[in-house]
Amino acid sequence: MAKSRATLQVQKLKEERQHALMELDRLREALKAEVDPDADEGDPDLVEREKVMALVQSLERKLESIDYALRQTQGGTYGICERCGEPIDPARLEVVPEATLCVKCKAIVERQTRLGTPAPSFD
């Protein structure tokens, strides 16, 4: 039974990976579009571009996390919080299959990260 669950997780991670790759392709394509060379800082086109670039970076990080999680499924450490060593809530893994931290640790790490650079949002 544990085995089929792991198989499902791998499948889910691979799907997530596929989605992220497709989205990255789309965004990179959008970045190829010409930008007016006379555009000044604050120009809507440039602002849009910055947003897309932030999304690309955030997706690249997501992909890294997914690859990492896939390696963890092979090593049998998938679903274990890296920070405290407790199992990650399966409901959380349903939503964020590439999660490597439990909700508690994630909140702590995010708070620390936000003090540094603001994370890009998907809105």
Contacting positions for Zn ion (CB under 5 A): 81, 83-84, 102, 105
Closer residue to Zn ion in complex, CB, 20/102: 102
Cα separation, 6 vs 66, in Å, equals 14
In whole angstroms, the minimum distance from the beta carbon of 6 to Zn ion comes to: 20
In whole angstroms, the minimum distance from the beta carbon of 79 to Zn ion comes to: 12
The three-state secondary structure class of 99 is: coil
Closer residue to Zn ion in complex, CB, 52/80: 80
Closer residue to Zn ion in complex, CB, 21/84: 84
CA distances to 15, 28, 33, 83, 106 from 110, rounded to whole Å, are 25, 27, 33, 13, 6
In whole angstroms, the minimum distance from the beta carbon of 81 to Zn ion comes to: 3
Q: Which amino acid is at 31?
A: L
